[in-house]
Chain A
Amino acid sequence: MRRIQLTGASALALAAALAAATPAAAENVFRWASQGDALTLDPMSQNEGPTIAMNGQIYESLVTRDPELNLQPELATSWEGGNDGWVFHLREGVKFHDGADFTAEDVAFSFKRAMAESSDYKEQVSSVADVEILDDHTVKVITKGPNPILPNEITSLYMMDSDWSKEHDVETPQDYAASEETFAVRNANGTGPFRVVSRAPDELTVLERNKEWWGASEFPGNIDRIEYRPIKNAATRVAALLSGELDFVLDPPLQDLERIKATDGLGVKTVAQIRSIFFGMDEGSDELRSSDVKGKNPFKDVKVRMAVNHAIDKEAIKRVVMEGLSFPTGMITPPGVLGNTPENDPPYSFDPELSKSLLAEAGYPDGFTVQLDCPNDRYNNDEKICQAAVAMLAKVGIKVNLEAIPKSQHFPKLQNRETDFYMLGWGVPTLDSHYVFAYLVDGEGSWNATGYSNPRVNEITDLIATEMDVEKRTALIDEAWTIIKEDAPYAPIHHQVIAWGISDKFDVPIGADDALRPRYIVAK
């Protein structure tokens, strides 16, 4: 009996004593969390969101984007393109964290490193033939043909020091097959506004302000120290924000936003994300794998694809499933990407009667059955969106069997083209329609599991890859989108919304690419 009381009392006393021992902060420390950690500090071995975000604070690219996603000079002060490549004029007086000068040689080295077999950035530089050093602070990136969007493609191609890389034997990115890890996985030497103080993967990464940074006087940011701790569990992540342990949460769950708003000292910011959510319909196969229709493929008929589009009530999904946080659309690319226009963006009308008559005209008055493949751990409320769509399609006679599975199982189905009907979301890092056409619409596109192939659209995809005349190029892009709207290989649902939870103590400009830009963060 006595022992029990003692245990209880001493535990309470201990808790109280420990609670009092919180250290005081003397500088502007920005503590934040999101779900996943950077996978590596090697800026070219993983082309993945959190990794790019972390490395982008330490390393810099030639060209970057501001919070409004406009192209901005970073390590290059200006650039001009021609039919055989792009000339970049480099910023002078820039130093790496170890004190070495940043020169044209480092740029040439970094491009070549990105072109290496083991690099995950090969595709971004696939148009590059060579890099020519014109003088210490001028380089010419020679392309295989005209490439109008090269600057857009290299905004996360970070510059590394050639001497440092040679010294530490990391002249190429880490190879999967190699049995040894490399120095660059755990160490970094960039030119960026922050340098690494300590890093424990999946636990805590501490960065501190680089006092020698060239941009110190050009940007409003006044953060001295960044503490990043990934917190996998969403409820815990939000709790850490609510309890004041964090100043910023990049990815709070949508259902917790009201709670965050209602807490003193915290606020929420939202913006339309550069990511659209849509369904793909396999029109390429002769027969669907999961349908009761044998010997032919209903999705081959554009009337059926239109029927699917008109059967889905995008506004209802926004209202009920997304709690208002989505932008219903008729395109598979969001505003902010060159090619999204107010004419094409509005969704196909919600008209179940039209759907039914279209199905009847196509020869399916009683509808048909099909399986919908859907991820359950990738996009905002992905599985719920699919469930809602299943119910809506059932009302016009299309009986959908829903298969919601983790992304690691879902995406291989798309890549192997083993799906009839599927959900996909697509972000556009280059902010140019070419990125959408090349992967999703072109007949050969590696993420185009619809089998859709329109000769004119394929032709335009090739043309805009090399067309340097901006007006001509924009006209071609518009033409392609108009054709896609009529052919309807996809059923667009909405553009996703980004929501950030932020302490009132900081002014953090939100970006539609979900990237944190610490150089703009102001502690009040």
Chain B
Amino acid sequence: MISFILRRLAQSVLVMAVVSGISFSLFNFVGDPVNNMVGQEATREQRQQIRVQLGLEDPIITQYVRFMGNALSGDFGLSYRIRRPVSELIFERLPATIELVFVSAIIALVLGLSLGVYTGIKRDTWLSRATLSISLVGVSLPTFVIGIALIYLFAVLLRWLPSSGRGGVVDLGFWQTSLLTADGWRSIILPAITLSLFQLTLILRLVRAEMLEVMRTDYIKFARARGLAERSINFVHALRNTLVPVITIIGLNIGGLIAFSVITETVFQWPGTGLMFIQAVDFVDVPIMAAYLVFVALLFVTINLIVDILYFVIDPRIRLGGS
């Protein structure tokens, strides 16, 4: 087990180095930050001087080594746009993203699992068919269309919920939460639904497919023959055995939710890390982009590691094969 984890850790470090290197070299093509940093009156000499000060005139390799050196000591520099330390900005924005992802994940899990089990067991009811048809919408419509449609319906037409922003934030000192106020909950509903829709559909369809497969297996037939209660067969015997692939997907997708909340956050002006990243791209705010990409890479690597370890715990066969 320990050698397995160590091997995984070594691979993770390699992945991080490659990802950060590639993303950093891409910044060369995003544009010139200095142009956004000074007024139009600035002279060419002044622009050049800033470029030199910021180290943008150095070769990209030098810039990368400098960035990684500082990053390893926790210093991601100052944002070009808001002129504040990047690590501070990311930690300020993280609670908003994590809460949004948390609520979305709960929605996706609860609805995805229960609807998945239901449609897997009762295949031919109208409700199953309807659920499956509607769930197709979840995968086929782009996030921003769903978001705008929800805004139009619930904010503009019905005026039940706010169209954007976070609302009702309570400062707990180490964490700014919007989950403790009615206003905060009103604000989170629409973006959370938007963000969860794709995952919900994915989980639903995966659970359903696995359920269908498991229900055909011999041990379920034996369980039935032994006269076990339907509930016990469905939830204890069947569902448990569908969970290995589902956990993999859920694990990866929670990383995906955080990393790709970019669009949802932009549509709803949700003040999280995704919105910050998009604004950074517009402004060519290299310190924020670099730090964010490293952060996301770290997230995926960590989640992968956790998922691998969970396999060990859930499925004894993998444990045997792995060691």
Inter-subunit contact B41/A123 (CB<8 Å): yes
- Looking at the complex, which one of A18, A185, A231, A409 makes contact with B185 (CB distance below 8 Å)? A18
Question: Is there a chain B Cβ closer than 8 Å to A179's Cβ?
Answer: yes
Q: Is B267 an interface residue (CB 8 A)?
A: yes
Complex Cα distance, B275 from A21, in Å, reads 28
CB neighbours (8 Å) of A203 from chain B are: 165-166, 271
- The answer to whether residues A233 and B266 also contact, given A48-B39, A123-B39, A181-B84 and a CB cut-off of 8 A, is yes
B82 and A239 contact, CB distance less than 8 A: no
The answer to whether the Cβ of A174 comes within 8 Å of any Cβ in the partner chain is yes
Bound CA–CA A292/B189 (angstroms): 57
A202→B89 CA distance, assembly (Å): 11
| A181–B83 CB distance below 8 A | yes
With known contacts A47-B41, A243-B163, A409-B31, A21–B182 Cβ distance under 8 A: yes
0/1 per residue, A223-238, Cβ < 8 Å to B? Answer: 0000001111101100
**CB closest residue in chain A, given B93:** A202
A202 lies within 8 A of B156 (CB): no
Instruction: Give the residues from 1 to 48 in chain A that come closer than 8 angstroms, CB to CB, to chain B.
Output: 1, 3-4, 7, 14-19, 21, 39-40, 45-48
A17: B residues at CB distance < 8 A: 182
Cα distance, A204 to B144, chains bound together (Å): 23
Docked complex Cα distance between A447 and B54 (Å): 23
A interface with B by C-beta (< 8 Å): 1, 3-4, 7, 14-19, 21, 39-40, 45-48, 120-124, 174, 176-179, 181, 185-186, 200-204, 229-233, 235-236, 239-240, 242-245, 377, 406-409, 411-412, 415, 439, 446-447
Q: Is B99 an interface residue (CB 8 A)?
A: no
**Residue among A174, A176, A181 facing the most chain B CB atoms (10 A cut-off):** A176
Q: Is the CB of B164 within 8 A of A240?
A: yes
CB distance from B78 to the nearest CB of A (A): 7
A150 to chain B minimum Cβ distance, whole angstroms, is: 15
Q: Is B30 in contact with A408, judged by CB distance below 8 angstroms? A: yes
Q: Report whether A18 and B152 are in contact in the complex, using a CB–CB cutoff of 8 Å.
A: no
Please, which residues of chain B bring their CB within 8 A of the CB of A179? 75, 77-78
Q: Would you call B41 and A124 a contact (CB within 8 A)? A: yes
Choose, from B9-17, B43-51, B211-219, the stretch at the interface. Answer: B43-51
A to B CB contacts below 8 Å, 14 in the list = A18-B183, A18-B186, A19-B159, A19-B160, A47-B41, A122-B46, A186-B84, A229-B269, A232-B275, A239-B152, A239-B155, A245-B162, A245-B164, A412-B35
Q: Which residue of chain A has its CB nearest to the CB of B70?
A: A179
**CA A244 – CA B160 in complex, angstroms?**
11
* Partner-A contacts on B (CB < 8 A): 30-33, 35-44, 46-47, 50, 53-54, 75, 77-78, 81-85, 110-111, 114-115, 118, 127, 144, 148, 151-152, 154-156, 159-166, 182-183, 185-186, 189, 266-269, 271, 275-276, 278-279, 282-284
Q: A18-B182, A123-B39, A239-B151 are in contact. Are A408 and B33 (CB under 8 A)?
A: yes
A174, B78: Cα distance in complex, Å: 11
Q: Which 5 A-B pairs have CB atoms at the shortest separation, nearest pair first?
A: A408-B31, A47-B39, A123-B41, A412-B32, A409-B31
For the complex, give the distance between the alpha carbons of A239 and B78 in Å. 34
Neighbouring B residues of A202 by C-beta, 8 Å: 82, 271, 275-276, 279
Residue of B144, B159, B278, B279 near A244 (CB, 8 A) is B159
Assembly CA distance A230 to B152 (angstroms): 19
Q: Is the CB of B268 within 8 A of A200?
A: no
A15 contact set on B, CB distance < 8 A: 154, 160-161, 189
A18-B185, A21-B182, A229-B269 are known contacts. Are A236 and B32 too (CB-CB below 8 A)?
Answer: no
How near does chain A come to B85, taking the closest CB pair, in angstroms?
7
> B36 contacts A408, CB within 8 Å?
yes
The closest CB in chain A to the CB of B152 belongs to: A239
Considering the chains assembled together, what is the distance between the CA atoms of A19 and B81 in angstroms? Answer: 36
Assuming the contacts A123-B43, A239-B152, asked whether A408 and B284 have C-beta atoms less than 8 A apart, the reply is yes
Which residues from chain A contact B160 at a C-beta distance below 8 Å? 15-16, 18-19
> Taking CB as reference atom, which chain A residue is nearest B49?
A117
Task: Give the residues in chain A near B37, CB-CB below 8 Å.
Answer: 46, 176
A231: min CB distance to chain B, Å:
5
B53 touches A239 (CB 8 A): no
Contacts of B46 in A (CB 8 A): 122
Shortest CB-to-CB span from B144 to chain A, Å, is 8
Which of B36, B83, B268 has the most chain A CB atoms closer than 10 A to its own CB? B83
